[in-house]
Structure 1
Amino acid sequence: MSELNVPSLVLAGFESSGKSSLFRGLTREASGEEANFRGSTVRCRSCFSHDCRCDVVDTPGLRLEGDPLTTRLAMDRISSTDTILLVVRGTDLQHELGELLKQIKLAGKRIAIAVTFSDKNPTEVQRLAAHYQSSLAVPVVTLDARELSPENRTDLLRAIARACKPGTTKPPLPVPGWGLLPNASWFERPIIGPLISILLLGALWALPVIAAFRLADAVQPMIDRSVIQSLTSWLGELLPPFLAAIFCGQYGLITLGWYSFLWAFPVVLFLSISTALVEQSGLQDRMIRSLDPLLRAFGLGGRDLMPVLTGYGCNVVAVQQSRACSRCTRRSCVSMITFGSACSYQIGATLSVLGASGHGLLFAPYLALLFVVSLIHTRIWNGSATNRVLLPSRERSFLQWPKPLAIWWKIKSSLLQFLFQAMPIFLLICIVGAVLEQIGLLTTLATLLSPALSIFHLPGWTAPAVVFSILRKDGLLIINQGNGSMAATLSTGQAFTLVWLAGTLTACLVTLWTVRNELGWSVAAKLAGRQALTSVIVAIILGLIIP
């Protein structure tokens, strides 16, 4: 096989065609970011392939409606290269290849074609692939991108090495014959479909959180007695007073950092398992389409649901993923993310505080209120969705059994992000909190904010929790100082109002900075102001109606 002597190879195709799986197969870059739902790639990413002897570039899936930023990013990257691998689904080969030839300017470029989903009907896919190889005079390879066998990979590399300028850039005439669309299901039924989707979404996100709460609630007393108490006592005697406060004080790395890990890690683990199963099976894509008409009444579209759900893992990633939204709904989607998508760290902190205060059963009502208010908030401030383009039924994802390796990649990616990105930041917050406590600033801050917090019937000593939550949503965990003894003094209404204010008064600073990078200062400022206003109004109401 001859070497591919080009600076880069760009993978181009529509959403959910299998580009990201091929990218991983060509580069052996096990990022696990791709999934069986549309719009899962929202940026161009590049990695050197030793087999191809060039940089392989994965682009977001092209979409013809809504003019999302991701399509413009992909088109710009495609136009800047001279070698393209067109990736099309064998189940809809004629339509997708015809549209790609219309949309992409291929004159002067070398191309090869990879036909995915060949396992759905191998004989017919091979027949169509041979027809297009003859018509366009370019190499065409058929394969199953989900399970790229060594033989498939060799055939793919051979096709890439033989990439050439097409004999024609006009779409070939359609071939009478076969085209397989995903089967309709209960999700596509008018009333039952949205109902099933709502119930399934609730179960898939509520059950992991409940399991995480039960696990943390059972483990915490045992670890506190057997490890934390003896360790803090030993270090307290060994270290100088200032260092002892950093490690063992009310905001210490051990005393408070332990709570962050205990209550957030199980949430991240169980939610990553749940989301990976839903994504890889194709269920998430079906639910998105089923709920599309309902979401439009609140200024969102069906495609916007996926970034919102991603926000339950990390708001920053979700805001970046909103690039795949239509231009007319993207701001609504970002507003919904920053207000209503309680990230895994916020969920863990909320569970911890409610559990320590003896009001763990309030978590389900809290999430329900958060979701409902965020929908109303988004509708009031952003209006109804102006994009009325319906999601084509031919673009439904196939329902299929998820691959264990794909599930593991997703879980691994989430856990590594938590351990090496989230935890270091929160440990830094612990150090900052301990230092501020030592110099007396937290006491001063509590004194200054006490009059404002009294409006919500909250004690002044809860002020640092609200302030720290602006920096980082799991900053709420500082309320568990004294092994939760202070949180236990909160009444039902105070505990509920506190977690509400800490979670919704504003997005964390990192998320707001991401919004600024994506949409500009003006949008970020307006979003923060509107969110604070809605949060305060609801908090005042909560203080009045909940004892």
Structure 2
Amino acid sequence: MLLLTSPAQRSIVVIGKENTGKSQLVASLTGCLPYSINFRGSTIACDTYVGGGLTVVDTPGILYRSDRITTQAALAQLEAHDTVLLVIKATHVDEDLADLWPLVVGKRGIVVITFWDKASQAGFTQQIVQCWDQTSNLAFIPVDARHLTPAQHHNIRAALQEPTIFSSRQPILAGWRIEPRPTLLEHPQFGWLVAIILLLLPTLLAVWFANSFAAVADPLMQALIQPLIDVLANIPLTLPREMLIGRYGLLTMGPLLWVWAVPTVILYALCLGTYKASGLVERITVALHPLLHPLGLSGRDLVRVVMGFGCNVPAVISTRACSSCARKTCMSAIAFGSACSYQFGATLAVFSAAHRPGLVIPYLGYLTVTTLVYTRLIAPKSARSRHNQLMIEHRTFLERPRWATIWRETQGTLYQFFTNAIPIFVAITLIASILDQLSLLSAAASIIHPLMQIFRLPPEAALPMILASIRKDGLLLFAEPETLSALTPLQILTGVYLAGVLLPCLVTALTIAREQSLRFALALMGRQAIAATCFSLILAWGGYWCSGALANEGHPSSTSSDLWQFHAMTELPGLRARTETYANTEFSSFLPRPRLFGSVPKLIEVGVAVL
């Protein structure tokens, strides 16, 4: 999509590093929310604000040194009448000027210095700023972007009306560097562990809340729609009836969306919005960078991957702010390893129906390990280069998040979910109903029946594989008694894993195609299918041989055929003896019960240690 800005219209392009307060500053200036769009035909997705008589383009924050190339590409699109708003942090002003000034030489613009309240607290005055104003003939405006005063608002707008040229001569050094005191996240031994715990906490909270909400809301939802289902059951035409109340109909699958996916996405978006507004995301990014950089990702990318546990669509769209060298890798990691609320809920349901809830531990462990291996294999060398270092390796200040800032961070995720994911969900539901009515899904399953033997799975596993490739809640077919009775615990684990990672769901695939290209999406799906096949073979046969070795320790004379008899005697009778039919109960009954769970700058540490 192209930015619909006429050549004569003046744009203000904002550049700066991650966590400089760019977005907060622009939101305060324009008083509106952004929409994401490619900047003037380039492949660079920028948040665009139109309000208060201004058109402001907020370029992605610079995280890696290679990101400066992306910013230069955006600046190359500027017209003579456009203005650059350079945002730097008062706490690391010398570093930011040294890194960013070369990008804007020859452009017209102004400089806004954020986090000035931190410099003021440290006893600094505006003398250095006045010196910069006089020597560079540029407007340097110090502000606290979180609390922009009317006077500062007026000064910025007035300076934007009369921008001046950035000269090749950089301002003199300020000579200070201000950082907060270290926290547990900066601990040299276990800081990374604290970062992982903080990163997984929203996921655990969202799953617990979704379980609790679904247990209460699902019976109410079913009671509300049952009269409508009874009426629609009398529709004489078969196809419309199946599209509405069939196995994959809107009223059949729709309640799962509203009682499970929507609450999960909302709560998860609020948690991540709080992390971003407080500055915790940047601390986590720096803490995890040494572990993730060899894989081609950053800590911020991992946040996006974990974000996919709510819904893959907002997570994929959020990669617009990724580094240029890491975006495709991050998309691939989300498509492979982010178990969305549908997939994770269906996985819990299958394990619960099989009376094996403990399988979720090896499932998550194997999913995590294989996702990391897969990411390492596909990441480009540029993303893993030692020379492509972070540009925000300093400690950022942790702030008390304000509701307005949290909501601004959250609203974008919810908007993408409701405007992108849900319409595609409805379309796929209708398409799946048509395919099911025409028996095309069963025909496709019959074609891949023989392939199931490769993974030591029975033919009954074919249909869940097909449906999970369309919608991840197709995993629920593994919970049918006839299917469970033919599966050992290892086969259940293998089947659920393979169905979950073989292909991204159609909603995710279509979103990736729109964000990149159809060619990239098809290549991603093919690459993911190959990787999922290899990992599933390792799980199926490796687990089989390991269990065989354990069995042989107890029965040295047993052969491989005896091993199959051992499985048949110990596992299958117990599974067949179960008379409970979980597959025909409400979805919420599958869910586990909720449980709580130059000159050397002067370094100044301010603030109180937290965490």
Do these two structures clear the TM 0.5 threshold for a shared fold by scoring above it?
A: yes
State the partner residue of 1:172: 171
For 1:81 and 1:411, locate their aligned partners in 2 and report how far apart those are by CA, in whole Å: 34
Per-residue Cα deviation, 1:421-464 (whole angstroms, up to 9, x for no partner): 21221222221122222222223223222222344455655544
Contact 1:293 1:302 in 2 (8 A): no
* Aligned CA distance change for structure 1 residues 174 and 69 (closer, same or farther; 3 Å): closer
State the partner residue of 1:436: 435
TM-score (norm 1): 0.83
State the partner residue of 1:60: 60
For 1:535 and 1:103, locate their aligned partners in 2 and report how far apart those are by CA, in whole Å: 42
Alignment of 1:140-151 (within 5 A): 140-151=140-151
SS in 2 for 1:70: helix
Per-residue Cα deviation, 1:397-433 (whole angstroms, up to 9, x for no partner): 2211112112122333333332332122122222112
Deviation at 1:219, TM superposition (A): 3.0
Deviation at 1:354, TM superposition (A): 4.8
* Aligned CA distance change for structure 1 residues 43 and 306 (closer, same or farther; 3 Å): farther
State the partner residue of 1:102: 102
Contact 2:13 2:57 in 1 (8 A): yes
Match of 1:9 among 1, 6, 12: 12
Whichever residue aligns with residue 114 of structure 1, its letter is V
SS in 2 for 1:30: coil
Alignment of 1:11-410 (within 5 A): 11-31=14-34, 43-52=45-54, 55-62=55-62, 65-67=65-67, 70-78=70-78, 82-106=82-106, 109-122=107-120, 124=124, 126-165=126-165, 168-176=167-175, 178-224=176-222, 226-237=223-234, 240-302=237-299, 304-315=301-312, 318=315, 322=319, 332-351=329-348, 354=351, 362-380=359-377, 382=379, 386-389=384-387, 390-391=389-390, 395-410=394-409
* Aligned CA distance change for structure 1 residues 514 and 229 (closer, same or farther; 3 Å): closer
Deviation at 1:236, TM superposition (A): 0.7
Contact 2:281 2:300 in 1 (8 A): no
**1:496 correspondence with 2:493:** yes
Contact 1:267 1:347 in 2 (8 A): no
* Aligned CA distance change for structure 1 residues 85 and 412 (closer, same or farther; 3 Å): closer
Deviation at 1:372, TM superposition (A): 1.2
Deviation at 1:278, TM superposition (A): 1.9
Deviation at 1:8, TM superposition (A): 1.5
Contact 1:357 1:490 in 2 (8 A): no
Contact 1:457 1:543 in 2 (8 A): yes
Whichever residue aligns with residue 437 of structure 2, its letter is Q
- Kindly, what percent of the aligned residue pairs are identical? 33
* Aligned CA distance change for structure 1 residues 298 and 46 (closer, same or farther; 3 Å): closer
Deviation at 1:485, TM superposition (A): 7.5
Whichever residue aligns with residue 59 of structure 1, its letter is T
* Aligned CA distance change for structure 1 residues 318 and 99 (closer, same or farther; 3 Å): same
Deviation at 1:143, TM superposition (A): 1.8
For 1:415 and 1:85, locate their aligned partners in 2 and report how far apart those are by CA, in whole Å: 29
For 1:333 and 1:222, locate their aligned partners in 2 and report how far apart those are by CA, in whole Å: 39
Whichever residue aligns with residue 14 of structure 2, its letter is L
Aligned residues: 526
Deviation at 1:193, TM superposition (A): 0.8
State the partner residue of 2:414: 415
For 2:283 and 2:133, locate their aligned partners in 1 and report how far apart those are by CA, in whole Å: 33
Deviation at 1:125, TM superposition (A): 5.6
* Deviation >6 Å, runs of 4+: 484-490, 516-523
SS in 2 for 1:56: strand
For 1:18 and 1:185, locate their aligned partners in 2 and report how far apart those are by CA, in whole Å: 22
Whichever residue aligns with residue 238 of structure 2, its letter is P
State the partner residue of 1:427: 426
For 1:198 and 1:63, locate their aligned partners in 2 and report how far apart those are by CA, in whole Å: 20
State the partner residue of 1:38: none
Deviation at 1:311, TM superposition (A): 3.7
Deviation at 1:239, TM superposition (A): 5.6
* Aligned CA distance change for structure 1 residues 68 and 513 (closer, same or farther; 3 Å): farther
Per-residue Cα deviation, 1:163-214 (whole angstroms, up to 9, x for no partner): 2346x441122245x4322432222222121121222223332232232223
* Aligned CA distance change for structure 1 residues 333 and 427 (closer, same or farther; 3 Å): closer
Whichever residue aligns with residue 27 of structure 2, its letter is R
* Aligned CA distance change for structure 1 residues 138 and 425 (closer, same or farther; 3 Å): same
Deviation at 1:499, TM superposition (A): 2.9
RCO comparison, higher one (Cα < 8 Å, 6+)? 2
Per-residue Cα deviation, 1:198-242 (whole angstroms, up to 9, x for no partner): 222233322322322232244324433x22433322321256433
* Aligned CA distance change for structure 1 residues 16 and 430 (closer, same or farther; 3 Å): same
Per-residue Cα deviation, 1:471-522 (whole angstroms, up to 9, x for no partner): 4x435267399xx787876854454333312221123456556666777788
Deviation at 1:254, TM superposition (A): 0.3
Whichever residue aligns with residue 118 of structure 1, its letter is W
Contact 1:236 1:244 in 2 (8 A): yes
* Aligned CA distance change for structure 1 residues 293 and 26 (closer, same or farther; 3 Å): same
Whichever residue aligns with residue 213 of structure 1, its letter is N
* Aligned CA distance change for structure 1 residues 66 and 503 (closer, same or farther; 3 Å): same
Give unpaired runs (5+ residues) of structure 1: 34-40
For 1:318 and 1:324, locate their aligned partners in 2 and report how far apart those are by CA, in whole Å: 11
* Aligned CA distance change for structure 1 residues 67 and 355 (closer, same or farther; 3 Å): same
Q: CA RMSD in A?
A: 3.6
Whichever residue aligns with residue 203 of structure 1, its letter is L
For 1:489 and 1:216, locate their aligned partners in 2 and report how far apart those are by CA, in whole Å: 27
Q: Which moved more, 1:307-316 or 1:447-456?
A: 307-316
Whichever residue aligns with residue 90 of structure 1, its letter is A
SS in 2 for 1:46: strand
TM-score (norm 2): 0.75
* Aligned CA distance change for structure 1 residues 413 and 515 (closer, same or farther; 3 Å): closer
Per-residue Cα deviation, 1:141-182 (whole angstroms, up to 9, x for no partner): 22222233444323321222232346x441122245x43224
* Aligned CA distance change for structure 1 residues 275 and 32 (closer, same or farther; 3 Å): farther
For 1:436 and 1:526, locate their aligned partners in 2 and report how far apart those are by CA, in whole Å: 25
Deviation at 1:30, TM superposition (A): 1.9
* Aligned CA distance change for structure 1 residues 173 and 208 (closer, same or farther; 3 Å): same
* Aligned CA distance change for structure 1 residues 543 and 211 (closer, same or farther; 3 Å): farther
For 1:116 and 1:304, locate their aligned partners in 2 and report how far apart those are by CA, in whole Å: 25
Per-residue Cα deviation, 1:281-334 (whole angstroms, up to 9, x for no partner): 222221221122222444544454344334445545555655665666566544
* Aligned CA distance change for structure 1 residues 62 and 227 (closer, same or farther; 3 Å): closer
Contact 2:314 2:417 in 1 (8 A): no
SS in 2 for 1:223: helix
For 2:496 and 2:147, locate their aligned partners in 1 and report how far apart those are by CA, in whole Å: 45
